[in-house]
Amino acid sequence: MAQTKATHITWHDHRVPADRRREVKGHYGVVVWFTGLSGSGKSTLANALDCMLHERGYHSYVLDGDNIRHGLNRDLGFSPEDRHENIRRIGEVAHLMADAGLITITAFISPYIEDRNMARDLNPGGRFVEVFCACPLDVCEKRDPKGLYKKARAGEIKEFTGIDAPYEIPPGAEVVVHTDTESVAESAANVIRHLEKAGMVPTAGTPL
Amino acid sequence: MAQTKATHITWHDHRVPADRRREVKGHYGVVVWFTGLSGSGKSTLANALDCMLHERGYHSYVLDGDNIRHGLNRDLGFSPEDRHENIRRIGEVAHLMADAGLITITAFISPYIEDRNMARDLNPGGRFVEVFCACPLDVCEKRDPKGLYKKARAGEIKEFTGIDAPYEIPPGAEVVVHTDTESVAESAANVIRHLEKAGMVPTAGTPL
């Protein structure tokens, strides 16, 4: 029990302060929220960013359909209420993870401004970075990685974002990436440049 | 963009491997699940453990009523279904955080074996450490930090665990702490010793 002797732990209110988490991590906890049409490159870009941040020794994580839809949100369908609740829960989990000190990257269509702003409001002080994946519908539809546009055009899927459901373009996104003309590495580097400028991560050679 | 040149990022399936997360963190991602009666010391112990782990430079986080009930689970009440859903969501979030590499500490009464096992099953390979806060009911009731036992005895709160709702003692908890006779530091040190023995964190001086 040698390691406990030096520690005076009282019965009440002994909590890890936020700046200690930052010290241990080497950067701020922050939410990087990708939004855009299906096929606009959100998930690919989120994972590429995760890799680039890990190469720097940072602590990041991706929340996307793969780990949310079959777990936390497996009780939710695609009704308007369920879509809203889907984004609400993701916003809350992203906030908890950022509070834990992680650079938390989310990759969901999240078509409504109101829902995204609810997630934003949980993370004041520049701790929410909205990244709009601006890719024209025809390019997304040509990519159609999951064959969903084809089904939506055939009427097999109803209320598909961009086809028969709206996508609300973010009026104040911190970063806009053009995934139709930029490479994945270029887009991810744009996000990292924003994190550096905003003082969320150290700039090369200069710790926070 | 110098930092991206060395990285070959392909359009598909470029993900951070689990061992890279472990390397960056210096320990495994694991869920430490405290369970026990109201007043048995779960939240205090969870936060003390979080502090001790941060003193070692580890990456941990506490999920408890303070950050869950008014956020992610604010739509849930205290009906049997809602209590089950409460623990289900906490189990899913704890799993995501452990997957992100964090030592994720939860502090909820979680009275039912079935619910706790659902959380356990998400984290195979020793990545789930159940810690039973074994404190006799009369001690918990004497502490009564939130005045809830008093209200339950007066009939103002119904189905209160230990009074008129059951608590199912874990038959296979990895760690049992006796918070009526041990100090907070002793109980927390017992948990850390288990994490060391199980190879989830380095033993002093010996990295993983």
Residues comprising chain B, all counted: 208
Interface test with B, best of A13, A16, A49 (most B CBs within 10 A): A16
Q: What is the mean pLDDT of the segment spanning A18-25?
A: 92
DSSP annotation string for A74-125: TT--SSHHHHHHHHHHHHHHHHHHHHTT-EEEEE-----HHHHHHHHHTS-T
pLDDT the model gives residue A3: 37
Q: Which residues contact A193 (CB under 8 A, 6 or more apart)?
A: none
Round to whole Å and give the CA distance between A117 and B191. 40
Strands B60-64 and B103-107: parallel
Specify the CATH class of B26-197 in words.
Answer: alpha beta
**Contact present, B96 and A70 (Cβ < 8 Å):** no
Rounded to 5 degrees, what angle do the CA atoms A141, A145, A147 make? 70
pLDDT in tens, A96-145: 999 999 999 999 999 999 999 999 999 999 999 999 999 999 999 999 98
Q: Is the Cα dihedral B147, B152, B154, B156 positive or negative?
A: positive
What is the side-by-side order of every strand in the sheet holding B128-133?
B60-64, B103-107, B30-35, B128-133, B175-177
Residue A9 pLDDT exceeds 60: no
Q: Which of A71, A100, A192 sits opposite B61 (nearest CB)?
A: A100
pLDDT in tens, A132-187: 999 999 999 999 988 999 999 999 999 999 999 999 999 999 999 999 999 999 99
Q: What is the mean pLDDT of the segment spanning B78-92?
A: 94
Q: How confident is the model at residue A202 (pLDDT cuts 50, 70, 90)?
A: very high
**Contact present, A86 and A76 (Cβ < 8 Å):** yes
Q: Which residues of B are less than 8 Å from A52 in CB distance?
A: 3-4, 7, 9
Which 3 state secondary structure label does DSSP give B166?
A: coil
Q: Which residues of B are less than 8 Å from A2 in CB distance?
A: 204
B157-B162-B164-B169 Cα dihedral, nearest 10 degrees? 130
Q: Which residues of B are less than 8 Å from A7 in CB distance?
A: 51-52, 55, 185
What b/e sequence results for A181-204 when a residue is b if at least 16 CB atoms lie within 10 Å of its CB, and e otherwise? ebebbebbbbbbebbeeeebbeee
What b/e sequence results for B149-178 when a residue is b if at least 16 CB atoms lie within 10 Å of its CB, and e otherwise? beebeeeebeebbbbebebeebeebbbebb
Q: How confident is the model at residue B205 (pLDDT cuts 50, 70, 90)?
A: low
List all residues of chain B from 162 to 191 with a beta carbon under 8 Å from chain A.
Answer: 183-186, 188-189
With both helix axes pointing from N to C terminus, report the angle between B80-99 and A80-99 in degrees, rounded to the nearest 10.
Answer: 50
Q: How confident is the model at residue B208 (pLDDT cuts 50, 70, 90)?
A: confident
Token couple for A93: 């989990």
Round to whole Å and give the CA distance between A159 and B71. 29
Q: Which of A2, A13, A96 sits opposite B93 (nearest CB)?
A: A96
Q: Is the Cα dihedral B181, B187, B190, B194 positive or negative?
A: positive
The catalytic residue positions of A are 110
Q: Which of A55, A93, A99 sits opposite B96 (nearest CB)?
A: A93
Percent of chain B with pLDDT over 70: 93
Q: DSSP E strands: which ranges in chain B?
A: 30-35, 60-64, 103-107, 128-133, 175-177
Round the average pLDDT of chain B to a whole number and report it: 91
H or E segment and range at residue B36: none
pLDDT the model gives residue A79: 86
Round to whole Å and give the CA distance between A11 and B58. 22
pLDDT in tens, B112-143: 999 999 999 999 999 999 999 999 999 999 99
CB contact under 8 A, B185 and A47: no
> Tokens 């007043």 sit at which residue?
B39
Nearest to B30 by CA among B105, B121, B92: B105
User: How far lies A5's CA from each of A1, A125, A180, B48, in Å?
Assistant: 7, 37, 58, 13
pLDDT in tens, A65-92: 989 999 999 999 888 899 999 999 999 9
pLDDT the model gives residue A1: 34
List all residues of chain A from 57 to 86 with a beta carbon under 8 Å from chain B.
Answer: 57-61, 63, 67, 71-72, 75, 85
Round to whole Å and give the CA distance between B21 and B100. 7
CB contact under 8 A, A24 and B89: no
ipTM given for this complex: 0.92
Q: CATH homologous superfamily of domain A24-197? A: P-loop containing nucleotide triphosphate hydrolases (3.40.50.300)
**Contact present, A194 and B19 (Cβ < 8 Å):** no
Q: How confident is the model at residue A14 (pLDDT cuts 50, 70, 90)?
A: confident
Round to whole Å and give the CA distance between B201 and B198. 8
Q: Which residues of B are less than 8 Å from A97 in CB distance?
A: 96-97, 100
Q: Which of B38, B110, B183, B187 is catalytic?
A: B110
User: How far lies B96's CA from each of A94, A147, A192, B104, in Å?
Assistant: 11, 28, 23, 9
What's the burial of B101, exposed, middle or buried (CB within 10 Å: 0-12/13-18/19+)? Answer: buried
